[in-house]
A and B are shown apart, each in its own frame.
Chain A
Amino acid sequence: MLDVEQVRKDFPMLSVSMHDHPLIYLDNGATTLKPQSVIQAICEYLSSYSANAHRGDYDLSHRVDETFENVRQKVANFIHAPKKENIVFTYGASDSLNLVAYGYGLTHLQEDDEIILSFQEHASNTLPWFDVSRQKGCRIQYVTLDQDGQITLEHIKETINEHTKIIAISHISNVLGYLNPIKEICQYAHQKGIIVVVDGAQSVPHMPVDVEELDCDFLAFSAHKMCGPTGVGILYGKLNLLEETSPTRLGGGSNSRYYKDGQVTLKKVPAKFEAGTPNIEGVIGLGSAIDYLTQLSMKEIHEYELSLRRYAVDQLLQLDNVIVYNPDAQGPIAFNIKGVFSQDAASLFNTYGIAIRAGHHCAKLLDNYLETNTTCRASLYFYNTREEIDQFIEICKKGDDFLDAFFG
């Protein structure tokens, strides 16, 4: 069992206050807090073995190389990728998704091809595909959502036709929080030669993920949503697909040779994608975050979060003045306090030291479906407690006094 009280001591941010109240951080979908071990790992690199990676011929640089490449192996183990070469370091999930869209999509799609997206997708898994399909004369098709907003294999099947080449879909949506049936989708799509790109930004931090079992073709996620630092992302890809993917940035470190006539020989996967000095301290911090999560056990983290979410939702459902849009999902809780604009609600929570988000959550297409333009979003992580949820519920009850926040 996860010992939450013990775990909380690892996070310096959990002793911070906001608006004169102890911080209750329920915006983990946006970014997560960092444990001391991650902070220390970054500080150690900065203070005792700072040097560039893949460059120097001296001890320090060698240590950087080893540590850096070690993290690649840790990431591979974490998501059960066959090899560390399956792992490309990027600057965030958005960057990873852009790499797939421009490096693979732009070079493989042709006029009349179709890309399947869903209304739940984050802007980072929507806008690059819009642009690529505009450039190539492709079409975007949206998979229909069922009544609760879920994606089913049946709906995917209905949306697929002989033009479909790529399905780009989140593993867990950052707004509605449903776990999508990726494994089944991949199985079906692969029979038709369709590539499945999975946005794992909201799944990998919260549950065990096994890319071999899912059999997805690409998986994108961000370090900062899993206790790591900002500015580091991961793109997992099947090796043959990564080999077919063109780098979208060129420069030092990604080539092995080039000549004045313009001929360039690129390095192998994944180095060919990683031109320029990477975010070394970020990658090192990610390695430490993975150690931390692994030691707690992703399975236990997942179970704990599900039970905490259930606890929160059950209480919310008892409040007459609250609407919950996704009671039976896994990820963020999407809700509104009746008659209170989401931004005003977020402000009210703020005055009690509670961080939640209001807005479209970068998934503006979903408005059509929810019949509300904006929602509040509370997103949990394993360091949140039932006591915090109780306090959050108390504030929900005060919804009508939202203007007090302005004078508080």
Chain B
Amino acid sequence: MRSLDNPMILREIILDHYEYPRNRGLTDDKDYIKINMNSETCIDDIDIQVKIEDGVIKDFRFDGEACAISTASTSILSELIKGKTLEEAKYIIEQYNNMIYEREYDEEILEEAIAFKNTSKQANRIKCATLGWNGLSQIIDEQKVGEPHD
């Protein structure tokens, strides 16, 4: 069995990011764009801060009250997209959503995020596994609107 398919390993990845979330804790720095994500149907409630410079994600921070699935998936996201351009980040998010919604996806690029590939079997957890990802996606989309079109 490939290690990618071993539920024990995937479980370890999630547990590790839940117990030791990366990039957790917010900053007062005004250069960060902030968004609050609290899903209407569940109780997760997280704040996300992103610092974007010259179209590159320089930093990603988050904090809040959230379950293991949304905490770990946001933590993994934070590591994946740091230093990526907005285009690259968009591609990664798209691949992640493809995986979550059982479409063809680029496994390589998702790295540890593939720990969530079984989410579709737990339909009530999709909202948890995508909360942070949707937050970043919203921030990126808003960036686009603000850009000059010339």
Q: Give me the interface of A with B, judged by CB distance under 8 Å.
A: 341-344, 347, 350-351, 358-360, 373-374, 402-407
Contact = CB atoms under 8 A, between A and B. Distances in A.
A9 to B, nearest CB: 29
A347 B125 contact: yes
B135 to A, nearest CB: 17
A273 B118 CA distance: 51
Contacts of B65: 373-374
Nearest to A350: B124
B14 interface: yes
A376 to B, nearest CB: 11
Residue picked from B7, B68, B128, most chain A C-beta under 10 Å: B68
B66 interface: yes
Interface in B3-42: 7, 10-11, 14-15, 42
Contact of A403 (B68, B119, B124): B68
Given A341-B67, A341-B68, A402-B68, A407 B44 contact: no
A358 B43 contact: yes
Nearest to A342: B43
A406 B14 contact: yes
A360 B43 contact: yes
Contacts of B7: 407
B69 interface: yes
A403 B9 CA distance: 12
A359 B68 contact: no
Contact of A406 (B42, B44, B66, B122): B122
Contacts of A351: 122
Contacts of B14: 403, 406
Given A343-B44, A344-B69, A374-B43, 9 more contacts: A342-B43, A343-B43, A343-B128, A350-B124, A358-B42, A359-B43, A374-B65, A406-B68, A406-B122
Nearest to A343: B67
A403 B66 contact: no
Contact of B10 (A341, A342, A358, A407): A407
A18 to B, nearest CB: 11
B124 A341 contact: no
Interface in B128-148: 128
Nearest to A340: B68
Main secondary structure of the interface of B (DSSP, over half): helix
Interface in B65-92: 65-69
Nearest to B127: A343
A341 B43 CA distance: 10
Contacts of B66: 341
A366 to B, nearest CB: 13
A402 B14 CA distance: 12
19 contacts: A341-B67, A341-B68, A342-B67, A343-B42, A343-B44, A343-B128, A344-B69, A347-B122, A350-B122, A351-B122, A359-B42, A403-B14, A404-B11, A406-B11, A406-B14, A406-B69, A406-B118, A406-B119, A407-B118
Top 8 nearest A-B pairs (CB, nearest first) are A343-B67, A341-B67, A359-B43, A407-B7, A344-B67, A344-B68, A374-B43, A403-B11
Given A341-B67, A343-B128, A405 B43 contact: no
Residue picked from A343, A344, A359, A373, most chain B C-beta under 10 Å: A343
Nearest to B41: A359
B39 to A, nearest CB: 10
Residue picked from A358, A402, A406, most chain B C-beta under 10 Å: A406
A359 B43 CA distance: 6
Nearest to B14: A403
Contacts of B42: 343, 358-359
Nearest to B68: A344
A350 B67 CA distance: 15
Interface string B95-119: 0000000000000000000000011
Contacts of B11: 403-404, 406-407
A360 B43 CA distance: 7
Nearest to A347: B125
B72 to A, nearest CB: 9
Contacts of B10: 407
B120 to A, nearest CB: 12
Nearest to A357: B43
Nearest to B69: A406
Contacts of B125: 347, 406
Nearest to A407: B7
Nearest to B128: A343
B76 to A, nearest CB: 14
Nearest to B118: A407
A405 B44 contact: no
Contacts of A347: 67, 69, 122, 124-125
A406 B117 CA distance: 10
Contacts of A358: 42-43
